[in-house]
Homo-oligomer: A and B are copies of this chain.
């Protein structure tokens, strides 16, 4: 089991206090987070640093960006085995209309989508909206 430090180093990301904190924050949350979520979690730090940190994480394949249709970009840790860096990871995202949280449904791969002749599909974004398990009282 790698430490966070080792993980960051293995991805050629310099280890800094802020980066460790942000990474831990992402691990603790099991839902996708906005920049503001992170900002609110660390009164102290500057939005720009958080922004650039998350962008670094994204470039290095540690987090992926999620557009869930709320108009605010969200981010979530990539699962192990996720290959965002190379190609798009084709799991679906679920946005709860009740609690407003978005989660990765990594176990649910997106089915093959047919497109008309002449069109070339390169990647797919699939967001399902509805009521999440927590809110539906399962």
Q: A-side interface residues toward B, CB under 8 Å? A: 67, 69, 71, 92, 94, 97, 105, 107-108, 111, 113-134, 136, 138
- Sample 21 A-B pairs with CB under 8 A, ordered by A number: A69-B125, A92-B113, A105-B115, A107-B116, A108-B113, A108-B114, A108-B115, A108-B116, A111-B111, A111-B113, A113-B128, A116-B133, A117-B138, A118-B138, A119-B131, A119-B136, A120-B131, A120-B136, A122-B130, A124-B126, A125-B125
Using Cβ atoms and an 8 Å threshold, which residues of chain B touch A128?
113, 115, 119, 121, 123-124
Verify B115–A124 contact, CB threshold 8 A.
no
This chain: how many copies in the complex? 2
Distance in angstroms between the alpha carbons of A131 and B118 in the assembled complex: 8
B119–A133 touching, CB < 8 Å? yes
Which residue from chain B places its CB closest to the CB of A123 in the assembled complex?
B129
Q: Check A118 against B105 for contact (C-beta < 8 Å).
A: no
* CB <8 Å contact, A130 and B125: no
| A97 contact set on B, CB distance < 8 A | 122
In the assembled complex, the Cα of A121 lies from the Cα of B133 at a distance in Å of: 11
